[in-house]
Structures are given as C-alpha cells and as structure tokens.
C-alpha cells in the first residue's frame, strides 16, 4: 500500500476462526502499534474500531511533514489462549503536485 503525505492511512484487519474460516471476534479488542519510516513511535497498543464481526480498523491522518519511506504497523489480537500478531508495511511518499 502506498500513501502520500496528507492522506489517511487505513490499517485494517479481518479475524477468522482457524477451524472453519468464518469471521469471528477475538476475546479482546485488537490493538495496533505503528512506527514511521524514521522508526519514530506513532502508536503503542492503540485500540482498533470494530466495523463488523471480525473486521477492525484504525485510521491515521498522515501529516504533511511525515517521514518519507516505509512504515510498519503491528496488529495484535488474542482469544485469551492464543495471541496473533500481524505485520503490515506501507510506504509514505511526498504528495504529488496537482
């Protein structure tokens, strides 16, 4: 995924049951931690918003001065006995001149 400075990055996760693949909610609200391209901390364990069963997101408005390069988000979900971490990398570029 590629975003430009000034856009909104949408970090999204879908959670499915390992046995049958149906969408399911974890025991606790998934959280996301995110670092920018300069390894600066943007979020640490921020709660995600639920869209529907098993579907969650967190939006981030990328500043016009945001670090250019590859950013990393790590999403954590658990069902009280198992913790799953999913990594998501995306690129932030300079905004295009209209």
- Give the pLDDT confidence of 62-91 residue by residue, as tens digits: 999 999 999 999 999 987 777 788 999 999
For 47-78, b/e burial (b = at least 16 CB within 10 A) is ebeeeeebebebebebeeebbeeebebbbbbe
Strand duo 31-35 + 8-14: pairing: unpaired
CATH of 2-93, one of 2.30.110.10, 2.60.40.1260, 2.60.40.1930, 2.60.120.10: 2.60.40.1930
Please check whether residue 67 is in contact with residue 3, taking contact to mean a CB–CB distance below 8 angstroms.
no
Per-domain residue ranges of the chain? 2-93
- Give the pLDDT confidence of 16-70 residue by residue, as tens digits: 888 888 999 999 999 999 999 999 999 999 999 999 999 999 999 999 999 999 9
């Amino acid at each position: 995924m590629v975003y430009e400075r000034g856009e909104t990055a949408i970090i999204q996760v879908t959670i499915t049951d390992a046995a049958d693949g149906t969408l399911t909610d974890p025991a606790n609200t998934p959280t996301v931690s995110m670092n920018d391209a300069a390894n600066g901390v943007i979020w640490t364990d921020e709660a995600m918003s639920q869209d529907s069963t098993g579907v969650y997101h967190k939006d981030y408005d990328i500043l016009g001065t945001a670090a250019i390069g590859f950013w990393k988000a790590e999403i954590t979900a658990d069902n009280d006995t198992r913790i799953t971490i999913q990594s998501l990398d995306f690129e932030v570029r300079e905004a295009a001149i209209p």
